[in-house]
């Protein structure tokens, strides 16, 4: 009997470390590789700065004694956790290891994830979860469900405090999808990521519908149809680049400001092409991306939810080195109208920017709400209200640029003065009115038009009369609903001046526990 030597003790540690690194073994690792998927640790290494990852809890094991699991206790329990840096900034991370019980989530696996989320909240740093999992670990029963519940609660507590990103690189089934859905962003890798509540077999048994896993919950589906995902990547490498890019526009937590972005782009740069890009004729369309790219620093725009509700565009850019969020109607798609999906997409982005202290610049060219039974039955009233709520609630600097149409309720919803916009700018062709000239003239001059010898000529005359009198920015400017009417080419300079002026904006609000946002 005696003490073992330090060499023996270190050798033992070394063996344990190697065992933890082995995960689910060679065969499972080969299977993962053969599908073109990275391992849990390779993924962390690809995302974080080289050599920055520090792993914790590598010796954690489950304590389940059902269905033979007591004989299989892989070190680490199927998830790799710890911290590191991205671009020199600290992040906390977890990455599920599919080679261990299919990355399924049991009690201790969940505890490891909860620990890094807690650390991220306490230290005010983003948390990134790489998901690749068969869902609840079936052998662990309610312990596994309890684990999910604890993660959901932490995601909710962290919401608006630290950025939370979910990177989906494998299956995510059942209630397991709800942790990602509670985070800021879901990044999905094409042909690898699957998210659904009930899978194709259950759907076939219950409703008789036939659908493939990919159709039901693949990256394409969630980035275009459901809007549940925010970024689509063709492979893992592209996905990690997206994560890094988005992170570079965000502060580490809600008490910080986002880091400035170095640029040589002159903040006073004028761009005469803006006069041509947006046609004066309100019936002609154009791609609002062209406007955004010409106004922001170096033309760099990082779009969020690029494939969903394309009639509104959301994303990050910087102006005068200052990171901002951008919301813009896109006349190229459905004339840039507001509908259910556009309202959902924009309101969530506005709240995200507000939570993380990013000023919001809104480019307005909106004809109104999309008419239709589908829209009314689908809840456009509450969805539209959500956008009103999001802008009204936002206390970050709000700058609006009314480029052309701004009609009715949609004008109000798109960051209007009355909802709290700090600086509202309008271009000379802006039309700020209750509705377009055609509709307005037909109603206001109905009797005159109907009683005319040539009603259609009279109608055109009255439309022109109305347009001349009201379809311009000056009525709104007379009332102070527009702060400045500017030349299109001055937009970058003037927005930059407005952002400078609003830099120290502070607003106090009535004390409350929280509001009740329309959903």
In contact, 258 and 212? CB cutoff 8 Å: no
Tell me whether residue 405 is exposed, middle or buried, using C-beta atoms within 10 angstroms of its C-beta: 0 to 12, 13 to 18, 19 or more: buried
Residue from 134, 217, 325, 384 in contact with ligand HXC (CB under 6 A):
134
Tell me which residue of 507, 152, 182, 511 sits closest to 354, measured CA to CA: 507
176 or 494: CB nearest ligand HXC: 176
Count of residues for the chain?
519
DSSP structure class, residue 470:
H
45 or 138: CB nearest ligand HXC: 138
Q: Could you tell me how many residues of this chain bind ligand HXC (CB under 6 A)?
A: 15
Q: Which residue has the tokens 């000379």?
A: 428
Q: Any contact of residue 137 with ligand HXC (CB under 6 A)? A: yes
Task: Please tell me which residue in 408, 409, 420, 439 is annotated as part of the active site.
Answer: 409
Residue 436 is a catalytic residue:
no
Q: Any contact of residue 171 with ligand HXC (CB under 6 A)? A: yes
DSSP structure class, residue 421:
-
Q: Least distance to ligand HXC from the beta carbon of 73, Å?
A: 13
For ligand HXC, which stretch binds (CB under 6 A), given 116-124, 131-139, 357-365, 472-480?
131-139
Q: Any contact of residue 135 with ligand HXC (CB under 6 A)? A: yes
Q: Any contact of residue 390 with ligand HXC (CB under 6 A)? A: no
105 or 499: CB nearest ligand HXC: 105
For ligand HXC, which stretch binds (CB under 6 A), given 137-145, 233-241, 325-333, 415-423?
137-145
Q: Which residue has the tokens 């201790």?
A: 108
170 or 251: CB nearest ligand HXC: 170
Q: Least distance to ligand HXC from the beta carbon of 173, Å?
A: 4
In contact, 400 and 362? CB cutoff 8 Å: yes
Q: Least distance to ligand HXC from the beta carbon of 158, Å?
A: 18
146 or 418: CB nearest ligand HXC: 146
C-alpha pair distances (Å), 163 with each of 50, 180, 182: 22, 12, 11
Joined together, the tokens standing for residue 21 give 């690194």
Separation of alpha carbons 143 and 108, rounded Å: 9
195 or 390: CB nearest ligand HXC: 195
Q: Any contact of residue 175 with ligand HXC (CB under 6 A)? A: yes
For ligand HXC, which stretch binds (CB under 6 A), given 167-175, 357-365, 450-458, 476-484?
167-175
Q: Any contact of residue 22 with ligand HXC (CB under 6 A)? A: no
Q: Any contact of residue 176 with ligand HXC (CB under 6 A)? A: yes
Q: Least distance to ligand HXC from the beta carbon of 351, Å?
A: 25
Q: How far is CA 17 from the centre of its chain?
A: 38
173 or 496: CB nearest ligand HXC: 173
Q: Least distance to ligand HXC from the beta carbon of 62, Å?
A: 11
Residue 409 is a catalytic residue:
yes
Residue 410 is a catalytic residue:
yes
Q: Any contact of residue 138 with ligand HXC (CB under 6 A)? A: yes
Q: Any contact of residue 148 with ligand HXC (CB under 6 A)? A: yes
Alpha-helical runs (H) found in 212-298:
213-217, 219-221, 236-248, 273-277, 288-295
25 or 451: CB nearest ligand HXC: 25
Residue from 22, 145, 181, 485 in contact with ligand HXC (CB under 6 A):
145
For the chain, the farthest-separated pair of C-alpha atoms sits apart, in whole angstroms, at: 117
Residue from 124, 141, 174, 200 in contact with ligand HXC (CB under 6 A):
174
Restricting to residues 90-129, name those near ligand HXC by CB under 6 A. 101-102, 104
Task: Please tell me which residue in 141, 175, 307, 378 is annotated as part of the active site.
Answer: 175
Separation of alpha carbons 276 and 273, rounded Å: 5
145 or 444: CB nearest ligand HXC: 145
Tell me which residue of 244, 230, 255 sits closest to 357, measured CA to CA: 255
Tell me which residue of 319, 416, 329 sits closest to 369, measured CA to CA: 329
C-alpha pair distances (Å), 514 with each of 158, 350, 353, 509: 15, 17, 18, 11
Query: Rounded to a whole number, what is the distance in angstroms from the first to the last CA of the chain?
Result: 68
Residue 205 is a catalytic residue:
no
Q: Any contact of residue 384 with ligand HXC (CB under 6 A)? A: no
Q: Any contact of residue 411 with ligand HXC (CB under 6 A)? A: no
Task: Please tell me which residue in 174, 199, 408, 439 is annotated as part of the active site.
Answer: 174
Tell me which residue of 168, 1, 185, 166 sits closest to 98, measured CA to CA: 168
Q: Least distance to ligand HXC from the beta carbon of 235, Å?
A: 18
Backbone torsions φ then ψ of 240, nearest 5 degrees? -65, -35
Separation of alpha carbons 121 and 255, rounded Å: 12
DSSP structure class, residue 417:
G
For ligand HXC, which stretch binds (CB under 6 A), given 133-141, 419-427, 464-472, 489-497?
133-141
Query: What secondary structure does DSSP assign to 36-78, as a single string?
Result: TPPPHHHHHHHHSPTT--EEE-TT------STTGGG---TTTT
Task: Please tell me which residue in 390, 410, 430, 471 is annotated as part of the active site.
Answer: 410
Q: Which residue has the tokens 């526009």?
A: 249
Catalytically active residues are 174-175, 409-410
Residues found near ligand HXC in the complex (CB under 6 A): 101-102, 104, 134-138, 145, 148, 171, 173-176
């Amino acid at each position: 009997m005696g003490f073992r030597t330090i060499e023996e003790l270190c050798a033992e540690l070394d063996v344990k470390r190697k065992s933890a690194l082995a995960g689910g073994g060679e065969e499972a690792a080969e299977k993962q590789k053969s599908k073109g998927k990275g391992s849990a640790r390779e993924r962390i290494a690809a995302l974080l700065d080289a050599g920055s990852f520090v792993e914790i809890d590598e010796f954690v094991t489950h304590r389940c004694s059902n269905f033979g699991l007591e004989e299989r206790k892989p070190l680490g329990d199927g998830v790799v956790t710890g911290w590191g840096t991205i671009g020199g900034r600290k992040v906390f991370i977890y990455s599920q290891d599919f080679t261990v019980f299919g990355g399924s989530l049991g009690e201790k696996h969940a505890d490891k994830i909860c620990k890094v989320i807690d650390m991220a909240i306490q230290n005010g740093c983003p948390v990134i979860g790489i998901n690749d999992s068969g869902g609840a670990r079936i052998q662990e029963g309610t312990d596994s469900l309890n684990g999910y519940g604890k993660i959901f609660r932490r995601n909710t507590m962290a919401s608006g405090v630290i950025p939370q990103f979910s990177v989906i690189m494998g299956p995510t089934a059942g209630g397991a999808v709800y942790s990602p859905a509670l985070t800021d962003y879901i990044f999905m890798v094409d042909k690898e990521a699957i998210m659904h509540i009930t899978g194709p077999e259950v759907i076939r048994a219950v409703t008789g519908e036939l659908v493939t896993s990919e159709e039901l919950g693949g990256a394409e589906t969630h980035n275009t149809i459901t809007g549940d995902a925010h970024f689509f990547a063709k492979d893992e490498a592209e996905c990690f680049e997206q994560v890094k890019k988005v992170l570079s526009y965000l502060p580490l937590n809600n008490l910080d400001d986002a880091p400035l972005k170095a640029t040589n782009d002159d903040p006073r740069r004028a761009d005469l092409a803006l006069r041509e890009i947006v046609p004066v004729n309100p019936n002609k369309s154009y791609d609002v991306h062209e406007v955004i790219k010409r106004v922001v620093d170096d033309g760099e725009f990082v779009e969020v939810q690029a494939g969903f509700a394309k009639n509104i565009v959301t994303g990050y850019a910087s102006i005068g080195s200052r990171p901002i969020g951008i919301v813009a109607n896109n006349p190229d798609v459905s004339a840039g109208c507001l509908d259910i999906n556009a309202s959902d997409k924009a309101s969530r982005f506005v709240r995200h920017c507000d939570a993380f202290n990013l000023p919001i610049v809104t480019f307005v060219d909106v004809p109104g709400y999309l008419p239709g039974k589908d829209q009314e039955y689908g809840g456009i009233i509450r969805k539209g209200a959500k956008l009103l709520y999001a802008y009204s609630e936002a206390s970050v600097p709000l700058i609006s640029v009314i480029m052309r149409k701004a009609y009715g309720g949609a004008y109000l919803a798109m960051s209007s003065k009355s909802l709290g916009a700090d600086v509202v700018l309008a271009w000379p062709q802006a039309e700020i009115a209750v509705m377009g000239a055609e509709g307005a003239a037909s109603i206001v001059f109905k009797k005159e038009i109907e009683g005319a010898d040539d009603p259609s000529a009279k109608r055109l005359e009255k439309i022109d009369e109305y347009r001349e009198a009201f379809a311009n920015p000056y009525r709104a400017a007379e009332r102070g609903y527009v702060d400045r009417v500017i030349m299109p080419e001055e937009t970058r300079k003037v927005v930059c001046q407005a952002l400078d002026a609003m830099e120290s904006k502070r607003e106090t609000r009535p004390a409350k526990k929280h509001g009740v946002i329309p959903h």
